[in-house]
Amino acid sequence: MNDSAFYQFFDACVGNWVTERTYHYLTRQEVERSHTEFMIQPVPLDCKAQVLTDNGYPDQPDLDQLPGFHLEFNTISDKGERVNQALNMLFVPQREDSYLLLGDYLRDRAYEEAKPIIAQFRFNTENRELLMTTFYTQVVSVDSITLINPRLRIRRILNYRRPAPGEPLQEVLLAGFGVEQKQGT
């Protein structure tokens, strides 16, 4: 496994980004566009430890080696709705499987529900795609970020109605697509 691609992905993500997204709400047949400006910074070591604590997650021996971000974003929709949020996140690799790195994705505040949450991630070293799956109370969010180059990312978000335990994801409630471009140098 070439985990250097994993760390290169996170290094490339640091900076200021602008994204234009389109959201398709399938249950109500609506389309919404939004503009987001966001800043990604490495998360300090004390904040990494706090993310672990907030989630009741075991201490990690090489905490300084785990990638994580402090993310702040401001979104305005074409309907004039605004969302501003800041959160800290941490990625804890658990195992390797061929060209995939799998692990836990922890946040001190989730997007859908304002509480700490543990999700799963899968990083594909061949196409530089980070796939994050979060089980919320009502939905399951599958969020993909593909790093095309250090200045361009493609985003895909699928929210499914949360199925009964053991059942597959089937009913898509929302599909979102975005182009994210790094600003500045």
Give the domain CATH number at 83. 2.40.128.20
- What single-letter DSSP state applies at residue 126? T
Count of the separate structural domains present in the chain: 1
The whole-angstrom separation of Cα 132 and Cα 91 is 10
Over its length of 185 residues, how does the chain's per-residue pLDDT go in tens digits? Answer: 457 899 999 999 999 999 999 999 999 999 999 999 999 999 999 999 999 999 999 999 999 999 999 999 999 999 999 999 999 999 999 999 889 999 999 999 887 788 999 999 999 999 999 999 999 999 999 999 999 999 999 999 999 999 999 999 999 999 999 999 999 86
pLDDT at 185: 62
CB-CB contact of 62 with 45 (8 Å): no
pLDDT at 110: 84
Tokens 């399938």 correspond to 26
Its domain, for residue 174, covers: 4-183
